[in-house]
Amino acid sequence: MASPRLETYCCPNRDAATQLVMSFQPEVFCGVCIGSASVSVMLTVLQLLPKKGQILRKMPKASSSSTILLLISVCDILGGLGVIFRSSVWLGFPGFIANISVANATDMWPSAFCVGSAMWIQLLYSAGFWWLFCYAVDSYLVVRRSAGLSTIVLYHMMAWGLAVLLCVEGVALLYYPSLSSCEKGLEHAIPHYITTYAPLLLVLVVNPILFRRTVSAVASLLKGRQGIYTENERRLGTEIQMRFFKIMLVFIVCWSSNIVNESLLFYLEMQPDINEMPLKNIRSAALITWIIMGILNPMQGFLFTLAFYGWTGCRVDLKWRKREIPWESMSSSTMGENAYPSPVNYQTNLHDPKKLSTTDSQQTDEAISMLSEGNTSGDDRITRSSPIYQGW
């Protein structure tokens, strides 16, 4: 699981709220984390592997949105592996972990492991948040026809750059002036928690807005393509809207417990004594949400692949071949051998309304098909029968 409390625990003079959750049934909690992360990683990899019976064709270049979806899954896989490694060491070497609690310990390896593993988990999940934000931005720009080939480079710079910057800045402020003598106090830890939860809150607030605007723009494109809004176009718009809804649903389910848990722990930190009897229910709620975090956080990777692609099956094709991108498969049956249109010369088509109309139609079709990645066979039948894809 991912929580700023993992880094806070590395300080010998950690606060009482952090000590409360980190010392609560550590064997059970680590076992839950290992089980959830292991299942998620294995199923996520299974989802991404090529399957037997899939239609395969040559692709000149993957789209930026498909690359973003893959990178989100990669971040979840690597983050899950970090959870497994940290929890395994926690269970297997209790004496090694016990040295983290010693204020003036001479052996720095336990503290180095504590900080390194916590930063790895935070960095990967934070990068996943930024990539999810980039996916919402890219979906909107694709529909608005503002996304170019160089956009993915900007996404890399933003996602990895901001994830590293916020992670390093938060940890540096938390461990000031040194790891062995961290300053104590809620005010000192607040910047670290802000840098951790800023990308999470950004996705929760901004992504629904971008997704809603994208769906509205898709409806306008579908109407403008044929001049009418048929049942097939309406169903296609609904499928795109449902895909965005599934993505946000998975995100909210997996991370809402973190927000609730952190709110409860902040409330406990502001109390003179967190062990007072009136705070018993608050402590119990914090511990329950802490266990829930250990289950749901690592499961995000697998649940996201279900939202992106649906269930892809278990029949893995071990003979590696370049796999077809799901959202581009929907128009492959009508596009023939050369599935991708050649670059358009707008200068030569400027005075040819018929060519320009065809060009706009192709751009509209490409934008819609990119947003429909992960359609199942049922979705595929919808889009192939739509007049939008008959224009290819």
When pLDDT is cut at 50, 70 and 90, the band that residue 156 belongs to is very high
When pLDDT is cut at 50, 70 and 90, the band that residue 109 belongs to is confident
Highest mean pLDDT among 3-17, 181-195, 376-390: 3-17
The residue among 171 and 59 whose pLDDT is bigger is 171
pLDDT at 264 over 90: yes
Q: How far apart are CA 210 and CA 204, in angstroms?
A: 11
Percentage of residues of the chain with pLDDT beyond 70: 73
Phi, psi of 51 (to 5 degrees): -115, 155
Q: Of 226-240, 304-318, 373-387, give the lowest mean pLDDT range.
A: 373-387
Task: Summarize pLDDT for 6-25 with one digit per residue, the tens.
Answer: 888 888 888 889 899 998 99
Percentage of residues of the chain with pLDDT beyond 90: 46
When pLDDT is cut at 50, 70 and 90, the band that residue 257 belongs to is very high
The whole-number pLDDT of residue 253 equals: 97
Q: How far apart are CA 122 and CA 70, in angstroms?
A: 19
At residue 61, the 3 state secondary structure works out as: coil
> Are 102 and 12 within 8 A, CB to CB?
yes
The whole-number pLDDT of residue 96 equals: 84
The whole-number pLDDT of residue 128 equals: 97
Task: Summarize pLDDT for 60-105 with one digit per residue, the tens.
Answer: 455 788 899 999 999 999 999 999 999 999 999 988 887 776 555 5
Mean pLDDT of 294-320: 89
Q: Which two tokens stand for residue 142?
A: 């694709």
Nearest-CA neighbor of 233 among 55, 354, 390, 66? 390
The whole-number pLDDT of residue 222 equals: 75
Helices 64-92 & 280-309, crossing angle to 10 degrees? Answer: 140
pLDDT at 148 over 90: no
When pLDDT is cut at 50, 70 and 90, the band that residue 122 belongs to is very high
- Mean pLDDT, the chain, whole residue set: 79
For 4-50+62-273+282-309, the fitting CATH number among 1.20.1070.10, 1.20.140.70, 3.40.50.300, 3.30.2130.10 is 1.20.1070.10
187 CB-near residues (< 8 Å, 6+ apart) = none
The whole-number pLDDT of residue 347 equals: 39
The residue among 350 and 169 whose pLDDT is bigger is 169
Q: How far apart are CA 117 and CA 93, in angstroms?
A: 15
Mean pLDDT of 235-243: 88
How distant is the alpha carbon of residue 187 from its chain centre? Answer: 29
The whole-number pLDDT of residue 327 equals: 41
The whole-number pLDDT of residue 190 equals: 85
The whole-number pLDDT of residue 292 equals: 96
Q: Which two tokens stand for residue 293?
A: 């975090």
The whole-number pLDDT of residue 349 equals: 40
When pLDDT is cut at 50, 70 and 90, the band that residue 164 belongs to is very high
The whole-number pLDDT of residue 191 equals: 86
The whole-number pLDDT of residue 365 equals: 59
142-to-62, 165, 356 alpha-carbon distances in Å:
14, 28, 19
The residue among 149 and 143 whose pLDDT is bigger is 143
Task: Summarize pLDDT for 313-350 with one digit per residue, the tens.
Answer: 888 877 755 444 444 444 333 333 333 333 333 333 43
The residue among 182 and 253 whose pLDDT is bigger is 253
Mean pLDDT of 20-32: 92
The whole-number pLDDT of residue 62 equals: 57
Q: How far apart are CA 191 and CA 189, in angstroms?
A: 6
Domain ranges of the chain: 4-50+62-273+282-309
The whole-model pTM stands at 0.82
At residue 101, the 3 state secondary structure works out as: helix
> Are 8 and 192 within 8 A, CB to CB?
yes
Q: How far apart are CA 304 and CA 72, in angstroms?
A: 9
Q: Of 37-46, 165-174, 338-347, 353-362, give the lowest mean pLDDT range.
A: 338-347
Mean pLDDT of 167-182: 83
